[in-house]
Every structure is written in C-alpha cells, then in structure tokens.
Amino acid sequence: MKKTKVHVVPHSHWDREWYFTTSRSKIYLMKDFQDILDILEEKEDFKYFTMDAQASLLDDYLKWRPQDEYRIRDLVQRRRLVIGPWYTQTDQLVISGESIIRNLYYGIDRCNEFGEPMRVGYVPDSFGQSAQMPQIYRGFGIDSSLFWRGVSDDMVDTTEFIWKGSDGSKVLAVQIPFGYYYGGNIPEDDSDLKEYLKDIIGKLKVKASTNNVYFPNGFDQAPIRKNLPDILKKANEIDNENEYEISDIENYIDSVRNERNEFTELKGEFLNAKHMRIHKSIFSSRSDLKIMNNKLENYITNVLEPLLTLSYSLGNEYPHLVIKDIWKLMFENAAHDSIGSCNSDTTNEDVYTRYKQARDLSINLLDLHMRLISTQIKNNNEEITLTVFNGFPEVRNEVVEFDTYIPGQDFVIKNKNGEILNYIIKEKEDITNYILTQTIRLNPSKKIYIPKTVYRAKIALSVKDIPPMGYTQLVFELDTKNKCEIETSNCKEIENKYYKITANKNGSLEILDKEEIHLMVLDIMMPGMDGLEVCRRVREKYNIPILMLSAKTEDMDKIQGIMTGADDYVCKPFNHLELTVRIRALLRRAYFLNTKMQALDNIIRIESMIIDKSKHKVTIDDNEVSLTAREFEILYLLASNRGRVFSTEEIFEKVWKERYYQSNNTVMVHMSRLRDKLEQYMEGNKIIHTVWGVGYKIEK
C-alpha cells in the first residue's frame, strides 16, 4: 500500500498585536527570529521554515538587527526561509479591496528585495474569506490559497477544492481543517508519539482528497522546534502507513496538483463557522476605529493620490516613500486582529495612534501639494488667489465651503473669465496679531501683499465648471466698489433635484425627498412634528414600508403606531441585528408586492421612468422616449428581471427569438442606442449597467 505523504510545515503564526501590544510582539520576535536563522543555518535537514507570510516581520526584526539582513537574504534565496506574499496578515471583509491589493503589492515588493516570495494566498487566521479574493490572487499571479476559517464539511467533504470568485476567477484552495496550530505540540516519547500520530494524522487523512496531507507544526508566536528533524525520523520508524517530511506550503500544493486535477468547486465568500470561530461581532466592535479606517481609506485613495498624480503631471515629484509609509500604517491596522478590534484596550490605543499618524501625514501631504500646484499656475502675478480642486471624473458646479484668511476690506472673487462669483461670509474672526507675526510662504523672496487687518473666515462660494480631475483658480480683488451683493428673500423654502426643505415657525424643518423612497424609519418622539403625524402625512401620498422606532413600549402605543399606518414597531433599546432583519423583511415584502402589482398592470416604474407594456410606451419625467420595438423589448426584459444579469446571447435569443452567433454584435449596437436615449432624459444617470465579461442588468 502506498504511504500517505505527511507534509510537516514548521511555522510561527505571528500576531503583531492582540491582547498584547505590538511592542511586546517585536521584543519577542527578536529572540525567536534569531533562533530560526541559527537553526536553519546549523541544520541542513531542517529544510524549511514559514515566517507567517508577512513581510512586516522582516521590517520589525531588521530595524533592530540590521546586521542579519544578509543571513535572511541567503536563506530566502535558498528557499529555506519562506516569506511573503503579504505585508501583514490582513482582514478581508472589514477593509477595502484597495487595501488588500496594496497589502499584497507592497508585501511582494518588499520580499523581492530578499528573494522569491511564496506565491500562495496564505491566510491562516482571517475571520472569513472574501468572494473577490480569487480575482485579486490571480491579478498577482497567485493560483492557490491556504486558509483555515470559513469552510465546513457542510459545503465540501475534502480539504482541497476549486474556489471560484465573483468574476469567475478560479484558484486551488486548501482549507486547514483543524487550525494552523493542529500539529504544534508533537510529543517526543515513543509511545505517546505513536498514539498521537495515529489519532491526529488519521483525522487529516479522512479529509484529504489525495495521498498528501498538510500538517502545520507551530502556533501563535511559536519558537522553532529545534529537534523537529529528529522527531520526524522517529515518526517514520514507528509509523508504517505514513511518510513524514519537513516541507513547505508550495511543495504541498504542487504535490496535490500532481496527483489530482479535478476538484469540487465552491463559489463566493466563506463565512461558515461550524468548526471554527468567525467572530462576526468584529464587524461592529470598536466602530470608532472602523469609521476612522473607512474615512482614511477613502481619503487616501480618492482624494490624496489623485491630487498627487495631478501634481506630478505638473512637474512636482511624486512622494512614493511617504505614500508607502502611510499605507504601511494602514496595513498594520488592517491585520485581522487589529481591525477586528478583538484586542485589549491598550492595543486599540496603538491602533488609534497609527490611524492618527496616517491621517496627519495624508492631510499635510495633500496641503503641501495643493500649495505647490497653486503657486505654479500662471496667474498674471495676481496677489491673492484661491484654487478649487475637483477630484471627480466629471465637471462640477458646486457651492464650496472653506476656511481661509481674508483682508479686512471689501473684495470680490472672480473666475478666469473675469466674472464675479457669489459668496457669503458665514463666520469671521479678527486674528491680525496672530497671523502677521508668523507669516509662512513657499517663496520668501517674493514680495507679497500684507494687509493691515486679517480675519479667519468661513466662506460659502458658488463655483461653476470645475474641470474633471483638475482645478480652477480664482482671484481676490481688493479695494473695489463692486463688492458682492447677496440677494435676500423671505422665502422659507429651498429646493433642488433631490430635496425640498421648508422652514417651520417653530424652528423645525420639513424635508421632502424627491427621489424614490424605499423605506422609512420613524421615531415617535420628534420635535415639531411627532412620528405619528409624519406617518399620517406619508400615508396620504405614499405606500412605502414604515417602521416605528420608539421608547414608548406600552401596548396602546404600539397599537396606535400600527393603526396610524406603520408596518412594524420596534421598541428601544433594540438589538441592531433584529432591526436589520426587520428592515430587510419589510423591503423584501414591499418589493414582492410591487413586482406583482406591476406585473398585473404591465407597468414597471424605475426611479422617474415608467415602462407601460400594454401601450408600448416609455416616459421619463413625463417625457416620452422614442424607442424602436427591439429597444423596448430589451428594456422590458431587463426591467422585469431587475438584479439579474442577462448575457448578450440570452438577450438576442429572447428578443430576436433566433439562434445567437458568436460574431453577432447586434445586441451591443441596440444597447448603445437604448442607453443614449434613456440617459438623455436621466441627466446622464445610468439605468442599464454592464457587468464586464458577463452581460447587462438593471439594479434592484
């Protein structure tokens, strides 16, 4: 009988912080990492050691022991010390996709300085696996993944399977069935070792789909097992059914692939917690830190880096190393324990400090480059300018609110065409003494205007035609008789495309949402107009689901709320999960009923668009859209199946009722014309969305 090959993979799972702080982790890393280097150099039969796939551990260690860099490089290049591909052992579900991608990018980049990193998506302790990971892995040339949490025997009966991502990308996945610490305490006594191997390896063999099993030797912050080669030699002597060998993850996966090429296929995210803890409570724990993370990720990705790119295009140096340091601070906090906030309060203080550092670096870097751009713009030597930036990919017309310094005299603000712009000074404070004693400027040799009086002011300014991913520079003109005059009105209402707001005599505001409302959550005890009265008024015009949320817990209160028109009633204090479930149930019921009603009268309503099947007519804001018969059929097909993606082939065969041929681009042409006609009346808003590589859909 062929022996089962047991791939014993020595490793140390290194949480950089948890109930202990990063400082403690770094101190112990000094000792353990040094021992790893010593043993690998002394014992050739100790073939491999996996350093938890985190390049950050290299940086932590070498900061205090830079003399060992050449030793690490030598062992990595000889594939004795296995590093990468991550920078830190990242979470996958709380942070952004951009953070995950940058984590891999910077991790691989750092590892490449030492040698070839491991090309396996190794995440031994992440609390669930994101559905986008196969796509991300494939983007980095990684075609396999090894993880613990999220998959149970309810989903697949083997440890090896094909994982299909949301976009169709596939990787070979291996689930660690009993955790990364399963083989962390191998006994050394002969009798104990024999019983231990029989039990523990037997359980692994049941789960394996090939004649290879993955046997991790290590645990949290585990020191290297110095005599592991001797123990495995003894294991091979007493176990006739299995062959034990020090291996690494890539060798194990290669062995699996060489033996088998067909596996069960699973798709999507993995959050099954049958045999391991997923810790779903981490999604809401320490929400203050998670909010900071989300705001910073958005700021860095959508504000800072686009503006730095703009600055670079104008000849300024791109600060790569600063950006790398900012992202590394984010990666340290993106680690599964850190962002999960299943930490001690002391550790969470460190997490906050890193966010603060990343935030301060980002804000000041943005400020510097906005100043650099502003001073480089040719402005005919105008003394005082204001540069307004637009980070969106579209022209913007906005009322911009900003804090600035203004001179203590009349002025106007003009655009590049010399047109005077409307503005309002909302607040101002005299800071003359403060500001004139500490002038800071980028060009000290240039003569500048120094006013007699300076105010710190908050200004609301109406700016038009700000170019996409660009800027417009405005000019302050002093000593003018044409200062901006603001028209005043006694009107108590303001209105735009989305809202109509009315000011009441008691100081409260009535806000009418002009866009489609799907559900309303009302508190009964509200100032000015209570929730019951709001519910009555809404019910006069709308049939949307209404949920009452109130501290009034008496039965009559609940009855009154329901009788007024509410569909459900939840008492305070409430369980957030219960509230979420109730809202989803109301939306599901409303969607079902709305769909049935629309089907009965052959009318479909999507935002401001009405599709009338019986009249073969489409209107948007009372404007009739002229569609051909084919265009109408395509639109009706997608609208009556909202949320479903139709391929080009399906659309052609359902609308044209003919067999589809691969070279046929008829659907694409009709879809382009249909979109142009719809978006003409939707102010450019998209109704039909492209799912790249799949087809077309209309969102629910």
The pLDDT tens digits for 441-490 are 556 666 666 778 888 899 999 999 999 999 999 988 886 665 544 444 55
Q: Give the containing element (helix H, strand E) for 513.
A: strand 509-513
Q: Where is pLDDT greater, at 537 or 54?
A: 54
The pLDDT assigned to 449 comes to: 65
The pLDDT assigned to 432 comes to: 85
Give the SS3 label for residue 107: helix
Quickly count: other Cβ atoms within 10 Å of residue 419's Cβ.
Answer: 10
**pTM for this predicted structure:** 0.69
The answer on pLDDT for 655 being more than 90 is: no
* Rounded-to-integer distance, Cα 78 and Cα 90, Å: 27
Active-site residue identified among 91, 125, 248, 568: 125
Q: Which two three-digit tokens encode residue 192?
A: 């104990």
Do 424 and 460 form a contact (C-beta atoms < 8 A)? yes
Do 239 and 215 form a contact (C-beta atoms < 8 A)? no
The secondary structure of 627-647 as a DSSP string is --HHHHHHHHHHHTTTT--B-
Q: Where is pLDDT greater, at 321 or 274?
A: 321
First to last CA, the chain: 57
* Rounded-to-integer distance, Cα 581 and Cα 664, Å: 45
CA distances, 12 to each of 50, 89, 313 (Å): 7, 12, 45
Buried b (16+ CB within 10 A) or exposed e, 361-389: bbeebbeebbeebbeeeebeeeebebebb
Q: CB-based contacts of 648: which residues, under 8 Å, 6+ apart? A: 660, 667, 668, 695, 696
The pLDDT assigned to 490 comes to: 58
Worst-scoring range by mean pLDDT, 69-73, 136-140, 542-546? 542-546
Residue range 608-635: average pLDDT?
87
Pairing assessment for the beta strands 212-217 and 454-466 based on DSSP bridges: unpaired
Give residue 616's identity as a one-letter amino acid code.
Answer: H
The secondary structure of 26-40 as a DSSP string is HHHHHHHHHHHHHHH
Q: Which two three-digit tokens encode residue 420?
A: 């005077």
Q: Where is pLDDT greater, at 605 or 139?
A: 139
* Rounded-to-integer distance, Cα 624 and Cα 616, Å: 11
Buried b (16+ CB within 10 A) or exposed e, 179-215: bbbbbbebeeeeeebeebbeeebeebeebbbbbbbbb
The answer on pLDDT for 360 being more than 90 is: yes
Q: Where are the alpha helices (DSSP H) in 78-189?
A: 97-112, 133-139
Residue range 195-210: average pLDDT?
94
Give residue 572's identity as a one-letter amino acid code.
Answer: K
Q: Among this protein's residues, is 337 annotated catalytic? A: no
The answer on pLDDT for 67 being more than 90 is: yes
The widest CA-to-CA distance across the chain, in whole angstroms, is 101
CA atoms within 13 A on the CB side of 276: 25
- Beta-ladder partners of 123: 147
The answer on pLDDT for 356 being more than 90 is: yes
* pLDDT digits 0-9 by tens, 384-424: 889 999 988 889 998 999 998 888 778 889 998 889 999 99
* Rounded-to-integer distance, Cα 398 and Cα 110, Å: 43
Q: CB-based contacts of 165: which residues, under 8 Å, 6+ apart? A: 131, 132, 133, 134, 135, 138, 171, 267
